[in-house]
Chains A and B, each alone.
Chain A
């Protein structure tokens, strides 16, 4: 593990999590959620859990972001709270 790389990833992780919760536009929120998944994927790859990282990249950052966007398009785009 490279500590400085870890700290950068973790800071970005928290920033992405807060943004995806705070943003009113649900489309942007799901995009940022994809970024969050990808950062977790990097973190796992960096810790040596390559299989888990692969799953996270495919499922978390890839397909689930697409599912969220498909849902946003069929509902309202703006969050009400």
Chain B
């Protein structure tokens, strides 16, 4: 059986490597993806859409980071369902792992009492370090979310960093104190609210008789030009994404580390 798998893997791998040979050179400005399709004689048939992304984005959306503009505006519908996929992953983890009460699973570790024991010094060090680190991590996460359309970053990355700060709290102390901050009810609600924010921006555009997620329609609500409305709406949408990602990242960790009981973690 292992040999069949090895043959299949080698075959697929070599096919992929053969395919790589047809790729244009890295950073080739004259490739079809960058300049548009060409005939054999070198005659240009059409201009590639990437050219207009690079030249017009700053003018049309006032967003310097083209990647964010493509992600949240030009293909906003796609990104919305990417967020839904993350939400669905959280729901799947919830559906598979979460147990309510029921039969007692024996605790992973002997319950700790309050007396001072061997490892307590290191626990003080870890606890203090995390107390200092977590606010900085969360501040950085907020910066990444808010600054996503000017520099690399955005809702997904910022949300993951924010979720990681709660995971750090759960690892450094215990799952219970992290859940006191961010209970199951809160994070499941937050995850849904994030998607509703995203979809809400889309539906709001439809009220102004424009297409779903056509942010330019929001200029009357945002009291700004059409370009700035697109920029602001992108920020709003990124915040929605960040809500969902933060909540789901912590939800997955909490369920995985406590076998779905949400009582005692690692």
B164 within 8 A of A: yes
Given contacts A58-B164, A62-B160, contact A51 B67 (CB under 8 A): yes
Give the contact stretch, choosing among B110-118, B119-127, B183-191, B251-259.
B251-259
The 0/1 profile, CB within 8 Å of A marked 1, for residues 247-266 of chain B is 00100110011010000011
> Beta-carbon contacts of B165-195 to A below 8 Å, as 1s and 0s?
0010001000000000000000000000000
Interface pair A63/B67, CB less than 8 Å apart: no
User: Across the two chains, which residue of chain A brings its CB closest to B250?
Assistant: A63
A10 contacts partner chain B, Cβ-Cβ < 8 Å: no
- Contact size class for A? 10 to 19
Kindly identify which residue among A1, A50, A53, A66 contacts B167, using a CB–CB cutoff of 8 Å.
A66
Does A79 have its Cβ within 8 Å of any Cβ on chain B?
no
Segment of B36-44, B149-157, B199-207, B229-237 in the binding face? B149-157
Q: Is the CB of B256 within 8 A of A71?
A: yes
Q: What is the CB-to-nearest-CB distance from B57 to chain A, in angstroms, rounded to a whole number?
A: 14
Bitwise interface map of A from 40 to 81 toward B, beta carbon under 8 Å scored 1, else 0: 000000011011011100110011001100110110000000
Cβ B154 vs Cβ A51 within 8 A: yes
In contact, A66 and B253 (Cβ under 8 angstroms): yes
Q: Which of B65, B68, B164, B266 contacts A62 (CB 8 A)?
A: B164
Query: B26 at interface (Cβ–Cβ under 8 A)?
Result: yes
Closest Cβ of chain B: how far from A40's Cβ, in Å?
A: 15
A63: contacting residue among B153, B164, B266, CB under 8 A: B164
**A54: which B residues are within 8 A, CB to CB?**
144, 152-153, 157
Look across to chain B and name the residue whose beta carbon is closest to the beta carbon of A48: B27
Q: With both chains docked as a complex, state the minimum distance between the C-beta of B91 and any C-beta of chain A, in angstroms.
A: 16
Known: A50-B152, A63-B164, A63-B249. 8 other contacts (CB 8 A): A51-B157, A54-B157, A59-B156, A62-B164, A63-B163, A66-B164, A67-B253, A67-B256
